[in-house]
Amino acid sequence: MSSSPHTTLRRLLPFFLVGVAFGFTLVKGEVVSWFRIQEMFRLQGFHMYGVFMTAVPTAALSLLLIRRLGLRDEAGEPLDLPPKEMGTGARYVIGGGLFGVGWALTGACPGPFLALTGAGVTVMAAAIASAVVGTWIYGLLRHRLPH
Amino acid sequence: MMEWLTRPWPWYVAGPLFGLAVPVLLLLGNRAFGISSNFRHICAACLPRRAAFFRYDWWKVGGWNLVFAAGILVGGVLGGWIFGNPDPVAISSQTTADLQALGVQDFSGLHPRDLFSWSELLGLRGLLLVVVGGFLVGFGTAYGGGCTSGHGISGLASFQLPSLLAVISFFAAGILSTYFLLPLIL
């Protein structure tokens, strides 16, 4: 891809701005809070479940609308999310489970790691670094794990 | 206006806004909303002698997502710092009581400072919560192929069975860890 720094910036700026809006909403919706995550995993409050139960239908309806309108990108490909391969399903159960343990321990998932670091809980930068190491170790062990 | 910027937002405002991330990223360039891929892109960008999993054009595939992630960090600065909510998070009284029973004392911020601080990292408790927890988030999302955004929102919204399986597993493991593992650590 040959593009000048100027066009690269123009292409990427919208993603940055959507990220800013997303990070701001993560904090304002208190989704980044260890206390909210505790309330969620203890099944003692509706807040987090309300977030998921409105986020998913909003995304689903938008996606159906995009498909119905037949929207396409510059290359002519339909706008859509890539399908996920089921395989044996083991990766979703085991990998998902390990992530769940990490979510409970840190009280945050990857988006909130970033938003919290910005919001002043800077120790979450250590969680990000650790997550990168975890991903790297997975990359090394990948061929030995059931998928 | 200022009050709206500093006050926390209810779930029915925040939830739909998160959901809109999916169509907005599709419209901006046919990109799939999912944050944990960024850990993989960082590995692909930074590590010498890469494993096959990290051998791809990280900038072409993930440049937009790394920029999106940088935006989330800046959004955190704005939401948590510049327009930060001065009040404690209004969790249920039952949760407050349960956490107090586990020894949590500081309920003032987004995360309890008595558990999540740089000085805590020197102790076993902080190490388990932040470093081991972070490791599991990175390993688990790479193995499981997504996190709360990629599976929980994008995957469920496109009716993908693998994502439903992953989300059930996230919550089952999270609930079990909260009730049985966390009390051993705190």
Q: Are B137 and A113 in contact (CB under 8 A)?
A: yes
Q: What is the pLDDT of residue A4?
A: 78
Alpha-carbon distance of B164 to B129, in angstroms, equals 26
Q: What is the pLDDT of residue B50?
A: 75
Q: What is the pLDDT of residue B149?
A: 96
User: Other CB atoms closer than 10 Å to residue B49's CB: what's the count?
Assistant: 5
Q: What is the pLDDT of residue B23?
A: 98
Q: Give contacts of A 16-75 with B, CB under 8 A.
A: 16-36, 38-60, 62-63, 65-66, 71, 73
pLDDT tens, residue by residue, B45-89: 998 777 899 999 999 999 999 999 999 999 999 999 999 999 999
pLDDT classification of A2: cutoffs 50, 70, 90: low
Query: Is B139 in contact with A117 (Cβ distance < 8 A)?
Result: no
Q: Which residue has the higher pLDDT, A9 or B119?
A: B119
pLDDT classification of A84: cutoffs 50, 70, 90: very high
Q: What is the pLDDT of residue A7?
A: 84
Nearest by Cα to B44 from B62, B70, B67:
B62
Looking at the structure of chain B, the number of domains it has is: 1
The tokens for B151 are: 């599976």
Residue B99: inside a domain: no
Query: What residue numbers bound the domain in which A112 lies?
Result: 84-147
B-chain residues near A120 (CB < 8 A)? 80-81, 84, 109
Residue B74: inside a domain: yes
Residue A39: inside a domain: no
Residue B35: inside a domain: yes
Dihedral (CA of A114, A115, A116, A119) sign: positive
Query: What residue numbers bound the domain in which B40 lies?
Result: 1-87
Residue A107: inside a domain: yes
Residue B173: inside a domain: no
pLDDT tens, residue by residue, A25-37: 999 999 999 999 9
Residue A123: inside a domain: yes
Q: Would you call B62 an interface residue with chain A, using a CB distance cutoff of 8 Å? A: no
ipTM of the complex: 0.96
Mutate one of B89, B139, B185 to test the A interface: name it (highest A CB count within 10 A): B139
Residue B34: inside a domain: yes
DSSP conformation letters of chain B: -HHHHHSPPPHHHHHHHHHHHHHHHHHHHSPPP-STHHHHHHHHHH-SS--GGG-S-HHHHHHHHHHHHHHHHHHHHIIIIIT---SPP---HHHHHHHHHTT----SSSS-TTTSSTGGGGSHHHIIIIIIHHHHHHHHHHHHT--IIIIIIIIHHTT-HHHHHHHHHHHHHHHHIIIIIHHHH-
Shortest alpha-carbon distance between residue B102 and chain A (Å): 12
Alpha-carbon distance of B30 to B9, in angstroms, equals 29
Q: Would you call A125 an interface residue with chain B, using a CB distance cutoff of 8 Å? A: no
pLDDT tens, residue by residue, B80-102: 999 999 999 999 999 999 999 99
Looking at the structure of chain A, the number of domains it has is: 1
Query: Is B11 in contact with A66 (Cβ distance < 8 A)?
Result: no
Residue A29: inside a domain: no
Residue A3 in this model has a pLDDT that exceeds 90:
no
Q: Give contacts of B 127-186 with A, CB under 8 A.
A: 128-149, 151-163, 165-175, 177-179, 181-182, 185
Q: Would you call A118 an interface residue with chain B, using a CB distance cutoff of 8 Å? A: yes
Alpha-carbon distance of B42 to A42, in angstroms, equals 33
Query: Is A135 in contact with B110 (Cβ distance < 8 A)?
Result: no
**pTM, two decimal places:** 0.96
Residue A113 in this model has a pLDDT that exceeds 70:
yes
